[in-house]
Amino acid sequence: MKNILLATVAVLSLGAMTPAFAQTTTDANAAVGATAGGTGGAALGFVLGGPIGAVVGGFAGATLGAEAGVAATTVEYAGTHPVEPIYIDGSVDIGATLPADVTIHPVEGDAQYGYVYANDRVWIVDMQSRALVQSPGYLVPQATADFVVNNPVGTVNVNGDIVVGYQVPADVQLTAVPDDRTYSYAYINDRPVLVENSSRAVVWIK
């Protein structure tokens, strides 16, 4: 059984676009951190098994594509039935359409939506149009979290508690995670934190 991780995520404000896709697989050892429900968030959580390993997923805050109105049971199904993560070339966001060669995994009891794990996020997909309609959160690879813990750097002290969603100030130096294009890390107030590169938002705290 893999180590247990707790991961949650901040909302990213991204513009919708339809990129070019190329499907490749990534490390299947991953923890999921997510948001669900409307802008106020929802107290959902799940345990993943299968190819992802044993992890704990936590939901907090808002989600990308909350206006789609995807049922919480559909989001929970995507979390409790892990699939092999893939990587899609280019920017991926709400409204992008998946090509025919990307497998969309069905949701039991919801014929309208399926899901994929792509580019370090969980995505809910409209089965008819193949469009990405919601993302309930990030996938944090086990190897990435392990690297952050096993390779400490000098700590930066800031006032107050650091929580998931905290945006790391621009003057705080982030350290790259080898072979991971999504995350960097820092030690803040003596705690290792994983940071999403484009938003500088904290997505995981040890």
Last residue of a domain, one of 114, 141, 168: 141
Say whether pLDDT at 171 is over 80: yes
Number of domains in the chain: 2
Say whether pLDDT at 180 is over 70: yes
32 and 77 share one domain: yes
Tell me what the pLDDT averaged over the chain comes to.
73
167 and 84 share one domain: no
Closest Cα partner for 56 from 123, 158, 142, 153?
142
In a domain, 1, yes or no: no
For the record, the structure tokens of 179 come out as 């072979």
Cα–Cα dist 52/145, whole Å: 14
160 and 182 share one domain: yes
pLDDT of residue 88: 87
Inter-residue contact 57 to 46 (CB < 8 Å): yes
Domain that holds residue 96: 6-141
Q: What is the average per-residue pLDDT within 15-36?
A: 44
| Amino acid residing at 200 | R
Q: Each residue of 52-94: pLDDT tens digit? A: 333 333 333 346 767 778 998 998 888 888 888 888 887 788 9
Closest Cα partner for 83 from 112, 114, 51, 59?
51
In a domain, 146, yes or no: no
Residue bearing the bigger pLDDT, 154 or 121: 154
Beta carbons within 8 Å of 131's beta carbon, 6+ residues apart: 95, 96, 97, 98, 125
Q: Among 19-23, 125-129, 161-165, 170-174, where is mean pLDDT lowest?
A: 19-23
Beta carbons within 8 Å of 127's beta carbon, 6+ residues apart: 104, 106, 111, 112, 113, 114
Inter-residue contact 194 to 186 (CB < 8 Å): no
Last residue of a domain, one of 88, 116, 141: 141
3-state secondary structure of 59: strand
